[in-house]
Amino acid sequence: MLSVGGFKTAHSGFLTLLSALKNLLGSCSCQKVTVKRPFYKKYPPGGSKSLMNFVFGHYTISDELPKLFREANMLYWACALLTFSYKYINHCVSNLSEPPPFHIPHLCFVEAGLTFSHDHAQSGHHKSKSLAMPRAVYLVEELITDEFLKYIHNMDCNPMLDPDEIGYEIAAFLACTQHIQYAKTGGLAFISDYQGMCHQ
């Protein structure tokens, strides 16, 4: 297991898609990926609900699918909002008489998608070639191999890093994108909880 979050576990895995577009997730054979799955904490009956006194429980497919579909959909909209922010920034920079006196980082979200695990339908003792209903669903993402940083918390719009820390410039830039998103959508949407690879 790579890590445990508030409601998902992350595991290492491999992905190969037979018809993936070039340079996208799964286009390389056995591409290393992160495989995420939601969980809930199962405490022993009558036992204490301490931080570590639990096992990972998994949802039924009917509960699991909406949770991960929502997660993937949020990533889709976050990509769109970040792309919009860059288009707005590029528009503003193109109208300047000289380049801005600071570096504009070029960032992106990880490529991701939903994958389903199926059992083959069984008829007596023989397995059918047709697939049965999925038994599990996973969120598969590009694997982040570099140091992982949380730039902005989801409860605060200020950078989590101090000005003298590595990554502060990116955190300040991401705070700027939040302002653009909030202002340009009339206060309807902005990306929170920015985190990811540490760019030095």
- Sign of the Cα pseudo-torsion (84, 87, 91, 92, in order): positive
Listed in sequence order, the residues at least 6 apart from 193 whose beta carbon sits closer than 8 Å to its beta carbon are 150, 152, 153, 154
Predicted confidence (pLDDT) at residue 87 exceeds the cutoff of 80: yes
pLDDT at site 145: 82
* Angle at which helices 61-94 and 168-184 cross, to 10°: 90
Which of 12-26, 125-139, 156-170 comes out lowest in average pLDDT? 125-139
pLDDT band at 63 (very low <50, low <70, confident <90, very high): very high
Cβ burial of 163 (10 Å; 0-12, 13-18, 19+) is: exposed
Rounded to 10 degrees, the C-alpha dihedral 54/60/62/68 comes to 50
pLDDT band (50, 70, 90) for residue 1 = confident
On the 0-12 / 13-18 / 19+ scale of CB atoms within 10 A, 36 is buried
Between 14 and 49, name the one with better pLDDT.
14
| Contacts of residue 49, Cβ cutoff 8 Å, sequence gap at least 6 | 43
pTM beyond 0.75: yes
pLDDT of residue 121: 57
